[in-house]
DNA sequence: AGTCAAAAGTCAAACAAGGTCAAACCTGAA
DNA sequence: TTCAGGTTTGACCTTGTTTGACTTTTGACT
C-alpha cells in the first residue's frame, strides 16, 4: 500500500464515526515522514466532494485543516453536485433550471434563489472569458455551502 | 485557538450586549501575557469599521481605549451598494466583513451568508484573472437582487 | 512653564501555519 | 518495453500571528 492510502486510512480511523476532524498539516506530514504537500495531495485525491468530504483550512499561527463529512444521501443538493461532476460548463438557463428544482424541492428559499441566480448571472460574470466554466465553479461552491451542516 | 481570537472573544464577552466599552491596553496585554502591541493587532483586525466598530483612544496618564459599536443607520444594503460604487476591486476578506455586517443588521440570514460567501470565494473564482473585479461585480448583483426582494 | 512617567501608536522582523506547481519518481497494463 | 497515470518531493508563495524596539501624546507634579 502506498503512503497516500495509509494516510487516508489513518485519517478515516481517527475520524471514526464522527463527522468532523481538525488536523495539522505539518504534524501529520511529520508523523508519516513525508513532505507537507503530500497531505494536500491526499486531501485533493481522497477527501473530495465526490467522496463526501468538504475541506476547510486556515493559514497562519493557530491555523489548521478541518474535514467535514457531508451527510450522504439522496437529497437534491448532493444529487445536483453529482450531476455537476460530469459537466464542464454551465449555461445560465441550465443553472436557472437547476435552482428552480431546488426551490421546488424546498431545498432553497425564493430569496436564496434570487441570490444564487444573481451570482451566476451573465451580468455578474460579464467580461470574464469562459464564463460557463466559472458559473459551474461558483454553482458548485454554493451547493457545497448549502450542504454543510 | 490563537491568542488574538481569545482576546477578541474576551472583549466581546465583556462588552456583552452593550454598545460601548473602555479598556486599558497595558492591563489587557498583561492579563493575556502578550506584548501590548498585540492589542493593537486585535483591534486592527477584529474591531474594524467594516465589522461595525469604532475605536477611540487616548494616550498619556489616565488614557485608555474605547470601543463603540456602530448603530445600524439606514438600509444597510443600499449603503453597501453606494460603498461599492467607489471601489474597483473587492478582496475576499472585505467581502466577508461586508456580508457579516448584513447578518448583524438582520438583512441576510446565516444561510444566505453562506451562499454569498461561497459565490465570491476565491475557490469559486479561481483561475479567473482579475478576480477582485469579478467579485465586486458578483457582490453588486447579489445586493441588487436582495434589494428587489 | 518645564519635566517626566504613563499611557498608547507604529512598524518591521520573526514565526507559524497552509498552498501551489512542476519535476522526479514509480508501476502496471498494453 | 514503453508510457500514461498516479505518487512523492522540494522549492517557493501567501496569509495570518506574535514580538519588541522605538516613537508620540498627555496628564500630573514640580
Asked if residue B61 and residue B93 are part of one domain, the reply reads no
Query: What pLDDT score does B86 carry?
Result: 85
pLDDT digits (tens, 9 = 90+) for A4-50: 999 999 999 999 999 999 999 999 999 999 999 999 999 999 999 88
For an interface test with A, the pick among B137, B140, B143, B148 (most A C-beta atoms closer than 10 Å) comes out as: B137
* Residue B87 and residue B65 share a domain: no
Kindly state whether residues A86 and A142 are assigned to the same domain.
yes
> In which domain, by residue range, is B106 found?
76-147
Strand C bases, protein C-beta under 7 A? 5-12, 15-22
Residue/partner pairs of B50-53 with CB below 8 Å, 24 or more apart? B50/B94, B50/B97, B50/B98, B50/B101, B51/B97, B51/B100, B51/B101, B52/B101, B52/B104
Distance of CA A79 to the CA centre of its chain: 13
Residues B30 and B52 reside in one and the same domain: yes
Same domain, B54 and B7: yes
Q: What is the pLDDT of residues A78-92, one digit of tens each?
A: 889 888 877 888 999
Mutate to test the interface with A, among B9, B141, B146 (most CBs of A within 10 A): B141
Residue with grid cell 499561527, as numbered in its chain: A61
Instruction: Say if residue B81 is in the same domain as residue B50.
Output: no
Q: How many domains does chain B have?
A: 2
Nucleotide nearest B44, CA–C1', reads C9
Q: Are residues A89 and A136 in the same domain?
A: yes
Distance B25 CA to C19 C1' (A): 35
Assess whether B46 and B83 both reside in one domain: no
Give the residue nearest to nucleotide D18 (CA to C1'): B38
Tell me the pLDDT band of B8, cut-offs 50, 70 and 90.
very high
Interchain contact B90–A (C-beta under 8 A): no
Asked if residue A116 and residue A57 are part of one domain, the reply reads no
User: Global pTM?
Assistant: 0.85
- The CATH number of residue A62's host domain is 3.30.56.130
Domain boundary among B69, B102, B124: B69
Report which of B58, B62, B56, B3 is spatially closest to residue B34, judged by C-alpha positions: B3
Of B38, B69, B100, which residue constitutes the final position of a domain?
B69
- Indicate whether A95 and A59 sit together in one domain: no
Cα–Cα–Cα angle for B41, B44, B48, nearest 5°?
Answer: 155
Please give the pLDDT value at position B68.
96
Instruction: Tell me, yes or no, if B81 comes closer than 8 A to chain A by beta carbon.
Output: no
Could you tell me how many residues make up chain B?
A: 149
Q: Is A67 in contact with A53 (CB distance < 8 Å)?
A: yes
In this model, does residue B136 exceed pLDDT 80? yes
Domain check: are A105 and A133 in the same one?
A: yes
pLDDT in tens, B77-121: 999 999 898 888 898 988 999 999 899 889 999 999 999 999 999
pLDDT of residue B61: 81
Residue B149 pLDDT class (50, 70, 90 cuts): confident
Domain boundary among A54, A69, A84: A69
Q: Is the separation of the CB atoms in A32 and A3 below 8 Å? A: yes
Nearest CA to A138 out of B132, B112, B120, B94 is that of: B120
Q: Give yes or no for residue A149 having a pLDDT over 60.
A: no
Domain shared by B15 and B42, yes or no: yes
* Tens-place pLDDT, residues A103-139: 999 999 999 999 999 999 989 898 777 888 899 999 9
pLDDT for B23-70, tens place per residue?
A: 999 999 999 999 999 999 999 999 998 888 999 999 988 889 999 998
Q: CA angle at residue A130 from A127 to A135, to 5 degrees?
A: 90
Amino acid at each position: 500500500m502506498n503512503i497516500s492510502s495509509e494516510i487516508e486510512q489513518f485519517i478515516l480511523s481517527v475520524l471514526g464515526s464522527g463527522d468532523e476532524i481538525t488536523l495539522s498539516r505539518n504534524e501529520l506530514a511529520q508523523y508519516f515522514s513525508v513532505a507537507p504537500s503530500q497531505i494536500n495531495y491526499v486531501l485533493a485525491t481522497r477527501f473530495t466532494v465526490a467522496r463526501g468530504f468538504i475541506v476547510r483550512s486556515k493559514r497562519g499561527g493557530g491555523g489548521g485543516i478541518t474535514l467535514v463529512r457531508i451527510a450522504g444521501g439522496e437529497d437534491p443538493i448532493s444529487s445536483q453536485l453529482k450531476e455537476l461532476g460530469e459537466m464542464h460548463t454551465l449555461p445560465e438557463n441550465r443553472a436557472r433550471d437547476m435552482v428552480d428544482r431546488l426551490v421546488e424541492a424546498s431545498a432553497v428559499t425564493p430569496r436564496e434563489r434570487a441570490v444564487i441566480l444573481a451570482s451566476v448571472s451573465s451580468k455578474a460574470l460579464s467580461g470574464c472569458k469562459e464564463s460557463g466554466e466559472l458559473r459551474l465553479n461558483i454553482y458548485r461552491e454554493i451547493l457545497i455551502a448549502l450542504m454543510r451542516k
